[in-house]
Amino acid sequence: MKQKGKHPANALSAVWIKKKHIDAGFYADGNGLYLKVDKSGARRWIQRLVIHGKRKDMGLGSASLVSLSDAREQARINRALARSGGDPLAEKRKEQPQTFKESAYAVYEINKPSWKNEKHAKQWITTLEKSAFPVIGDKLISQIDTPDILEVLQPIWITKHETARRIKQRMSSVFKWSQAKQWRSNDPTDNIEKALPKHSKPVKHHLSLPFNEVARAIETVNNSNALPITKLTFEFLVLTACRSGDVRGMRWDEIEGDKWVIPASRMKKGKEHRIPLPKRCMEIISIAETMKDGTGLVFPNNGKPLSDMTLSKLMKELGIKAVPHGFRTSFRQWTTEKTNYPWQVCEFALAHVVGDEAEQAYQRSDLFDTRINMMEAWAQYVINQRADVIPLVKNNT
């Protein structure tokens, strides 16, 4: 990055700092502020100050945790203090490090507003309270080392591996925050897995049906004693190939003609998703409209969304050997074996991220117009199969 003048002012930019590849070295921004890039790619803020006639370097934290604007503001404050005869380094040393427990609660409170899921927020801190606090909770954040991390993780690394992995990630967040506070220089959870037993976890796929058995599943549900709204939800989920939670939380204000627009706030990847609705789905919506209850939900159940357990339990009781999420796999297999649609179109239908960061930057279209025909073809395939299908189970719920 070219910088004009010996002492540039605001020479860096937030976009440039986030570039994937930057050569190792010091990059000046102004007020003595530098971005230091290590050979490893790690980036941190350094400020060069003259304190009581001597030049000193002062760390302002990792660039991944301290924004450019925050680094600039802190640099401005430090420089003003140094010029007035003060000592920013001495002031910084007055700030006493906290215990791991105090630091964890601080990180929890900082991140809590950004977590959409209240259950996830609660789990974040309760897992640390249960597993980490008894071992390292009362230790100063600056004095915790690798053996302490091993003591937390080793007892559950094999028996409760997924929980242990999440605890490791959450502890790492606390240590990285403490690095930004300049209370420690490293994250003791880094590379800790090399000291733990190897854990091989088989990949578990969602149980799904072959695409030519999907019609029979719909017939089975429609011939059961399930509530009408449950039957409508199930068929709509299958024909749109959407995630169960998206369908169960669907609202009337998300429907725009024959298009369903799920807002970013409800999507797994935090990006708006448009779904073309086949004719049969529009018929389902018309029927659901007669069941409106004032909640704004398209498929309500006593004033709230239908639970995922309701659909899963119903399918199990009816002998349908799949889970709600598995119908996305059924749809994807159909597109591969029965159609010639490009894989990008099929992946967009499932709201999957397509390509790497560079490809995503250039891929501005969600291929909606192409997906209209594909989703209608999927619905017609299922409908045409249903006429000659005998339900697996009748009146069994």
CATH code at position 301: 1.10.443.10
Is residue 241 located within the same domain as residue 338?
A: yes
Q: How far apart are CA 153 and CA 158, in angstroms?
A: 9
Claim: this prediction has a pTM higher than 0.75:
no
Is residue 130 located within the same domain as residue 180?
A: yes
Phi, psi of 229, rounded to the nearest 5 degrees: -65, -30
- HSE on the CB side for 8, CA within 13 Å? 16
Is residue 87 located within the same domain as residue 39?
A: yes
**Would you say residue 1 lies in a domain?**
no
Is residue 249 located within the same domain as residue 293?
A: yes
Is residue 89 located within the same domain as residue 111?
A: no
pLDDT string in tens for the chain (397-residue length): 444 445 567 788 888 988 888 888 889 988 889 999 988 788 889 999 998 888 888 888 788 778 899 889 888 988 888 888 888 877 776 665 689 999 999 899 988 887 777 777 888 999 999 999 999 999 988 889 999 999 999 998 888 888 999 999 999 999 988 887 778 878 899 888 888 887 665 545 567 889 999 999 999 999 999 999 999 999 999 999 998 889 999 999 999 999 999 888 887 767 788 999 999 999 999 999 999 888 999 999 888 888 888 999 999 999 998 998 889 899 999 988 888 888 888 888 887 755 434 334 334 456 888 889 999 999 999 988 875 344 433 333 3
Is residue 173 located within the same domain as residue 306?
A: no
User: How many structural domains are present in the chain?
Assistant: 3
Is residue 154 located within the same domain as residue 302?
A: no
Is residue 270 located within the same domain as residue 364?
A: yes
Is residue 21 located within the same domain as residue 142?
A: no
Is residue 273 located within the same domain as residue 344?
A: yes
How many CB atoms neighbour CB 46 within 10 A?
A: 17
User: What one-letter code names the amino acid at 174?
Assistant: V
Residue whose entry in the numeric block shows the structure tokens 């007035």: 84
Which of 62, 94, 126 is a domain's end point?
94
Is residue 266 located within the same domain as residue 345?
A: yes
**Would you say residue 367 lies in a domain?**
yes
| ∠ Cα 228 309 130 (to 5°) | 155
Is residue 348 located within the same domain as residue 232?
A: yes
Domain of residue 285: give its range: 211-386
User: What one-letter code names the amino acid at 1?
Assistant: M
CATH code at position 141: 1.10.150.130
**Of 84, 70, 82, which is closest to residue 29 (Cα–Cα)?**
70
**Would you say residue 6 lies in a domain?**
no
Q: Which residues pair with 25 in a beta bridge?
A: 37
Q: How far apart are CA 301 and CA 329, in angstroms?
A: 27
**Would you say residue 2 lies in a domain?**
no
DSSP, residue by residue, 10-51: S---HHHHT-S---SEEEEEETTEEEEE-TTS-EEEEEEEEE
**Would you say residue 7 lies in a domain?**
no
**Would you say residue 351 lies in a domain?**
yes
**Of 208, 124, 195, which is closest to residue 153 (Cα–Cα)?**
195
Helix axes 100-111, 161-180, angle to 10 degrees: 90
**Would you say residue 244 lies in a domain?**
yes
**Would you say residue 5 lies in a domain?**
no
Task: Compute CA distances 7 → 43, 44, 58, 74, 209, whole Å.
Answer: 21, 19, 18, 18, 66
Which of 195, 226, 253 is a domain's end point?
195
DSSP, residue by residue, 317-375: HTT--S-TTHHHHHHHHHHHHH----HHHHHHHTT---S-HHHHHH-----HHHHHHHH
CATH code at position 55: 3.30.160.390
Q: Which residues pair with 34 in a beta bridge?
A: 28, 46
